[in-house]
Amino acid sequence: MAIAQASTSSVVGKSVKRIDVQEKVTGAAQYTDDIAFGNALHHCRVKRSPHPHALIKKINYDKALLIPGVKLVVTGEDFPEYVGLYLQDRNIFARDRVRFVGEGVAAVVASTEEIAEKALDAIDVEYELLQPVLDPEFGASKEAPIIHPDLEKYEHPNFIFPVNGTNMANHFKIRKGDTEAAWPQCAAIVEHTFRIPQVQHVPIEPHVAIAKAEENGQVTLWASTQSPFAQRALLAKSLHIPESDFRVIAPLIGGGFGCKAGVTMEAIPVAAALKLKGVPIKLLLTREEEFYTNFVRQGLVIKLKVGCDKDGNLLAMENTMYWDGGAYTEYGVNVTRAGGYSSTGPYDIPNMRTDSICVYTNHPVGGAYRGFGMAELHTGVGQIMDMLADKIGMDRTEFHLRNCVRGGDVLATGMVIHEVGLPECIDKVARALKLGEKEAPSAPNKLRGKGIALAWKAPAMPPNAGSSALVKMNADGTVNVSVGGQELGQGTFTAMAQIAAESLGVPYEAVKVLGPIDTRYSPYEWQTVASRLTWSMGNAVRNAALDAKKKILDIVAEAWNEKPEDLDIKDGYVISYKTEESIEIKDFVVYGLPKADDQGWLGGPIVGAGSFMPTYVTGLDAETGQGERAVVHYTTGAQGLDIEIDKDTGRITVLYAASAFDVGKAINPDMVRQQMEGGFVQGLSSAMFEECQLVGGEMRNPSFVDYRIATAIDVPEKIDTFIVETAQDDGPFGARGIGEHPLVPVIAALANAIYDATGVRITNPPFSAEKIYMALLEAGVVN
């Protein structure tokens, strides 16, 4: 088992150096060569649909089986079971019909990848084309062809609300107050429809998995995954394998951002391995496949209407969202739910009506993406609030401060929100940006503007998503921490080492976090998603460390004839506040302490165990969305940009950015700032460049030649980050998550800055140079 070891000493709230992970290769690639598996390693390739919607009439693979080196061909006929996290709506291979371009209809296993690829051409599939659904608003209408006729048969939890006989996989509603009665009281009302496209996660490391099934029923999956325990549970259920016989090993992965959550392509090599036992089978997606055959961020059509009184106080909002869930919505239905209960954005609105609808389309599958629907939602909400402030003639900072959520407010779901530091975040960003001060551009052909937008996000998860951890003391005084959450490059192992060290009372450099994650040996963790690990897994680690600490102090208290409450552990020593006696923990945490007069021993090997699960999240009414506590908590914040636009080209230059978020408690301030910077850059990338160009259901830009992402030249020279700390009552040392949130408000903030610079509203991202130039030309800003 590889070890991630802390390298410098510090405690919670300090910016210690990240752990030095002792892995030869980052990612599942380390398990995927012939050195690891010998010449037995087989390779898998997938026959994919060229059509967005069609019936499968016939699959003939006889010719493929005749090719030397081909070992196996599997199809949907071999695996009729469904798989899915929140809605079990998907087969491992398409069976009666295909529902998106790139859907797998068969897989070939061969001795080499080249042979497997060649064999795909020998598989003949006969299709009968069907009308595709390519727009979510149309897909929700009665005129649209039904993509999933068996929707009523799909299993789902009680907080997902499919509408049988339609393409609506989930319809989440909020009904609070009376919007119709509120509209006549409004001094200003703004309505607008925003369209946000699908984008790709583009992790450096593509999806890769290896599966091996033994004759004795044991199955092992090595995968680049954020969800080893969820994968084990979902695939074991679908393929009728006892969970105790299914092992998932998840090495460090080269980027995830949500696309490696749940189950996607990993099911294919497992299915193949069950048909060809005794040999490991590898499936590695090409970069082109990565773009459109797995999760994408869902597209969204969001229709907003919002109004305020003459003093700028928000009175009402109506929010109708049509989420383009794609061909399968087993994960996307919960994105829709999250968008629904957060549909006000971080604003206090007394009258609210929301319809958040997840719609089946014949587009690529929508799933988890950093922000989990919040970037799409806030693209609309953040802009329409700016539009309303402009219409009422109110300073934007004043408008946001007047209407933002504060501790004690009753949210749209009826939940009373905990204390938040959002007003402080707004103030810090506005001051840093000098919002309201018009500054001169750098040249006559440049236009300059500033924009601000707010954000909030709650961990989107089931009410019973749990974490667990083990803390094992070693004879040399070091501490091994075992967790089930994944290290994605976000620094979670570092944070866990700090929490363990602080809670236990040992130096940071004494703590080692074990990896890779292995469901056979690692303690349970729901998934590495939702910006929840610092909070949830951190609580489990803290509880495990405190359990170990209690055992240590109990031993010493008995040996010294003292009370445990008079003892403490500092820098690896047990000390007595009463007698000032001390003993180094390495002297007894494995072998114990002798009793007086050689009358036996006290203690023994110390292992602490801890777990955490929020037990207080309640259900919400299906018709009104009302309930006592919709989510565990919200992280809130604000972001601002100062930009210039070249009138001759439409090109944006971001001069400066400011970001402030209330993280409860910064376990490691430097890593928090890095999350703010990284999230901002990823958000800026989707705001300026990124879009899956879907034409007739087919992605036209599935490569980095045509799909541009932000690089160093697009980033402002200076990004100021401000950490606000309003303690979370149920977080370890008051901490809550920050991994996704800095991405959320960027699109809206940039759109507002573009308007401030040009006087032209361009609402639908990406805000490319061409789009901006054409809008300026049409508005007469340039000739």
As a whole number of angstroms, the distance between CA 485 and CA 538 comes to 10
Token match 């290769």: residue? 25
Q: Active site includes 740?
A: yes
As a whole number of angstroms, the distance between CA 765 and CA 686 comes to 8
Distance linking the first and last C-alpha atoms of the chain:
65
Question: Who's near 677: CB < 8 A, 6+ residues apart?
Answer: 659, 719, 721, 742
As a whole number of angstroms, the distance between CA 744 and CA 737 comes to 14
DSSP-assigned states of every residue in 595-610: PGGG--EE----EEEE
As a whole number of angstroms, the distance between CA 759 and CA 271 comes to 56
Three-state DSSP state, 370: coil
As a whole number of angstroms, the distance between CA 338 and CA 757 comes to 33
As a whole number of angstroms, the distance between CA 617 and CA 569 comes to 35
Q: What angle do CA 443, 447, 452 make, to 5 degrees?
A: 130
Distance of CA 49 to the CA centre of its chain: 28
Query: Using a CB cutoff of 8 Å and minimum separation of 24, what contacts does 158-167 make?
Result: 158/619, 159/337, 159/462, 159/463, 159/619, 159/620, 160/86, 160/87, 160/333, 160/334, 160/337, 161/622, 162/87, 162/333, 166/140, 166/142, 167/133, 167/139, 167/140, 167/359, 167/360, 167/361
- Residue 497 phi/psi, 5-degree rounding, is -65, -40
Burial class (CB in 10 A: 0-12, 13-18, 19+), 763: buried
Contact (CB, 8 A) for 510 and 254: no
Q: What angle do CA 638, 639, 643 make, to 5 degrees?
A: 155
- Active-site hit among 288, 330, 740, 778: 740
Axis-axis angle for helices 396-403, 374-392 (nearest 10): 120
Token match 């440049």: residue? 446
Question: Who's near 578: CB < 8 A, 6+ residues apart?
Answer: 562, 566
As a whole number of angstroms, the distance between CA 413 and CA 729 comes to 20
Axis-axis angle for helices 492-504, 538-560 (nearest 10): 20
DSSP-assigned states of every residue in 677-710: HHHHHHHHHHHHT----EETTEES--STTTS---
Contact (CB, 8 A) for 563 and 554: no
As a whole number of angstroms, the distance between CA 220 and CA 277 comes to 11
Contact (CB, 8 A) for 731 and 467: no
- Which active-site residues does the annotation give? 740
